[in-house]
A and B are shown apart, each in its own frame.
Chain A
Amino acid sequence: MASMTFGQKTFTPTPPQKGSFPLDHQGECKKFMLKYMLCLHENKNKNSLCREQSRDYLACRMEKGLMAQEEWDKLGYSDLETPKNHST
């Protein structure tokens, strides 16, 4: 690989537009992820039937500081109600 990079500039990654967010090292939102995956599995991968679970996951991320706070309609969830405060 070293020979291929002769003369090329170093690769500086550009962050994604919506921002990168840290990994869930402690697995704080893993429960919601699993709920979402289970829902997808049961519903033959139809996302429209599992939007509440994906919204819950994003809400968990925002609560735990793993994601910047965003308005729900900016994330495309304007049709769902704001989630109630849910327990971990």
Chain B
Amino acid sequence: MMCGGQGEGGGARGGAGQGSGQGTRSTLYYIAALGVLTLGLSYAAVPLYRIFCQAYSYGGTTQQGHDAEKVGSMETVKDRMLKIRFNADTAASMTWNFRPQQREVQVYPGETALAFYTARNPTDRPVIGVSTYNVIPFDAGQNSSSTHMKRFTCQCSSTLTQSLPMIPKMENIDIITLSYTFFEAREGLQLPLPQFAR
């Protein structure tokens, strides 16, 4: 997005017509300050962009901070039907077989539904997976009471086939695709425990 701030070539114009030493030095300071500022902004851009994306669900990221209480007061709207399609991906180096158990689910808006994914580790070493998820179309990620998704982490070892349930609820759009992508976690990754960890 932003480059490192080099190439501010036009700054030397301040030197003309002034005491040469004083003028060029202050111009130099200005240029240096501008360079540092741009560099700092480009570093800050990464977390700022992430925050912006989460706040406005730009590009399919879902909104954090859903009010869980809203689930209880949801009304089912029976006059339209939504199709939720499920997609499962793994990173290229990820050895799991990861697939959804159902191609799609038809729900009414305001209704909770259950969907299953299966992950299978065909290797003989334990593999820890971490997933990210995305929702298409992007609008589905930002409707007020929509797309309440569970993200899950999975520690799977030795060719176990596991079913991973998740609950979405949707509104306003006819076909929504929910996509999970699993990556292999690097060594030393700290996983947060569930609330009632045993």
Contact = CB atoms under 8 A, between A and B. Distances in A.
Given A19-B195, A24-B162, A74 B113 contact: no
Contacts of A61: 165
A47 B107 contact: yes
A75 B148 CA distance: 11
A45 interface: yes
Interface residues of A, number: 43
Nearest to A11: B130
Contacts of B114: 36, 47, 54, 57-58
Contact of B194 (A19, A37, A51, A58): A19
A78 to B, nearest CB: 6
B146 to A, nearest CB: 13
Interface string B139-169: 0000000001111111110001011110101
Contacts of A21: 152, 194
> Which of B68, B102, B163 is the most central at the interface, judged by chain A CB atoms within 10 Å of its CB?
B163
A77 B47 CA distance: 38
Interface of B: 46, 64-66, 68-69, 71-72, 74, 76, 93, 101-108, 111-114, 116, 130, 148-156, 160, 162-165, 167, 169, 186, 189-192, 194-196, 198
Interface of A: 1, 8, 10-25, 30, 33, 36-37, 40, 44-48, 51, 54, 57-58, 61, 65, 68, 71, 73-79
Given A58-B114, A61-B165, A74-B71, 20 more contacts: A11-B189, A13-B153, A14-B192, A15-B153, A16-B149, A16-B151, A17-B68, A18-B68, A19-B150, A19-B195, A20-B192, A21-B194, A22-B194, A24-B162, A45-B102, A45-B104, A48-B107, A65-B196, A65-B198, A76-B74
